[in-house]
Structure 1
Amino acid sequence: MAIQFVEGGATAARGFTAWGMHCGIRRNTSKPDLAMICSAVPCSAAAVYTQNLVKGAPILVTKEHLKDGTARAVIVNSGNANTCNADGVEKAERMCRAAAKALGIREDDVIVASTGVIGVPLPIEPIENSVSQLASLLSKDGSLEAAKAIMTTDTVVKNLAVKCTLGGKTVRIGGIAKGSGMIHPNMGTMLCFVTTDAAVSAPVLDTALRAAVDKSFNMVSVDGDTSTNDTCAVMASGLAGNPELTKAEGEDYEIFAGALLELCTALARMLAKDGEGASRLLICTVTGAKDEENAKKAAKGVICSSLVKAAMFGADANWGRVLCAVGYCGAETDVGRVDVSFASKAGGLSVCENGAGIPFSEELAKKVLSEDEVTILVKLRDGDARATAFGCDLTYDYVKINGDYRT
């Protein structure tokens, strides 16, 4: 069975339940702000975090809890990042303690996360007062509710799952994610919680997660700002009954790693398309690079360029900005041999060959670049490596959203 997308999100995998509710962090009572995911059995677990030197307190606590490679639950709030607060670690620990008590599990088996405004003390009482109710509401159909509860400026819920076959057993991998702004390569305010019923050892899970994140979430940029709270965590219940993956090699590992990458890439695309104020998803695919590192540099360079993003907002085929970004991004290439083209469901057109402009129809270019998903194709002539990065256009609304985010 090939990798297939299925319903269920983070609760598609056997053993997992989830839910989300409003507890009182947000003033708007119509917006849920507290989510929980729980496994019926102990799980192997792994996570990757922001590379920002400023890290949210929940990351510090979660890192400690995952040192033994096990977890059973996730507790996460939105509306407040619990970052740069003197009492941040204490409150993150209190969140874990409350969740553990409500679920009847060990405190250090809880993954904790927060997202929202930075530098404002987290009101912990609303969380502590609501965790028992949230735990009682956990459902096999609750992934969508949990996904809603972790949203901040997101406009689209990110809730997906895939299935594949390992050792003759059907395995599901599901996840929820949030992130719309403050997103940039090296984990961008992005949270992602993945569950699977595959039997996978914690070291192998860690290897597969890092490989998937490197080609998905780390290839996303919305605005060039790397958040303080980014976390991507995965728990594996083993309830699918496949032979446990204990080595990061072999056919079953490659299938699992491929399915995890497929899920993470789909979520990454959703994050980029839902960038704050965005009107279109930008995809930059670089081919012909001397190696993967240079392909990634070039693809990220184009996606991160404010001038490219602004041109795409205006549906302006200003290919010189693309070439310019390739030139300053640090990729080793001969810019005099670079080709650039644009493509969307409205068609495609070449605009640059061998580092120089060629005649093209401005009318067709306008149509191609006016679609809600636009691909920028950059062809180098240095080798066979390729990479793809995901981003969005830069609109007036991005400034409006971030001009008064705190107040």
Structure 2
Amino acid sequence: MFARKKKLLQAIERKVFRGFEVPEDLAPLTDIDPNEAGAGNKSGVTAEEVESIWAGVEDFYRRGAHPFVSLCVRRHGEMILNRSLGYVKGAMGECEPVVGSLETPVCLFSSSKAVSAMLIHKLAEEGHVELLTPVSYYIPEFAAGGKANITIHDLLSHRAGVPGIAADVPRDVLYNPDEALRHICEMETLHSDGRISAYHAVTGGFVMAKLVEVTTGLTIQQYLDTVFRQPLGMKYFTYGIGEEHHDNVARHYETGLKNPKPIENLLSNVLGASVSEVIEISNSPEFKSSVIPSGNIYSTAEEACRFFQMMLDRGEWQGQRVLDPVTVLRGTREVGGARLDKSLMLPMRYSAGMMLGGKPAGLYGVDTHHAFGHLGFSNILCWADPQRDLAVSLVSSGKPVISSHIVPLLFTVLNRINKACEPCVDGLYDLPQYHPAG
């Protein structure tokens, strides 16, 4: 009787929250990296704590909001957990279900911004740009609409005043960077001195791409490949993804409650399209084949975690210098404190490229004031926490806003990760100092 009632409740929950049917046995849908560190390693995290974290992920998955989930966690440089769970496609009955794996590439959406921003910081490290110089010095047409004095630093910290492309601009402008940039350059800024914080969901990336092009002669794809993809030994980690991998990409699904009109309107303003449209666009071959620097790096969870481990190690990866430590500091140091973001209508802490954690709580859980990373649409979280010596990447394929998955995500998965990896340095005095490499 109890089992029947439970199944009935699950069926109702799936109907209300537009979820998929989750099998009782998750083992056939699970892929575990054999290179996970064992118990008694230098990470200080026990095997029981690792399994507790994964049990939280399974609980999160059982809510039926995310057909595919993958999590990678590194502590003190050791990979303590790297696993995937679920379907690449077919979860909603649109085709025969296909089980994903650790090699399944996932679109990072806005978590791509953290990577793109660090490319601009690399430009500054190499002497191609000065962060406090106006964008219009390098891209003269950007000066229109009161933007002449908007600096590169303003752009990186969501203060360029051009948070979204106008609603009447065709959606296929995403696939034409020059046309997208033309529209952005013609826009009026919210304020000419960059004092207004307003999240730039798509626009900033096109400007960054042009900065790379005019100062190096390279495309931003080529620069990404040179600066990060090759040095970190990535298989994917590109804007867009090769056509030969299109069928392997985790499909995106609209799940969760139908968004109330005020929330849908807010998201449409931020994203430049309705949630349904964004999901449809993101599953298209055109999106997968395009270069959209603010939102379409394709990566595995492990590759994204690898990037943030490099950031955590102050620009070094396996003995190779990727970024100068001071460059990492410039990209992760808080800009202006927590303040209301005029796009998201939430208090946000930004650096020049990252979304920062908070205390008593923030995007990355409780007591994460020193954490830096980025949120991706809608439950993709990639971050590093220097106070915990922790790097994490959680990627997922469902796109719910309001759903029953929120509690296990925020209060189980993130909480268990942070509890297993308690702060190991004093937040005020013991964080590493940043000196030039060499």
TM over 0.5: no
TM-score, normalisation: structure 1: 0.27
**Higher relative strand content:** 1
Structure with higher RCO (Cα < 8 A, 6+ apart): 2
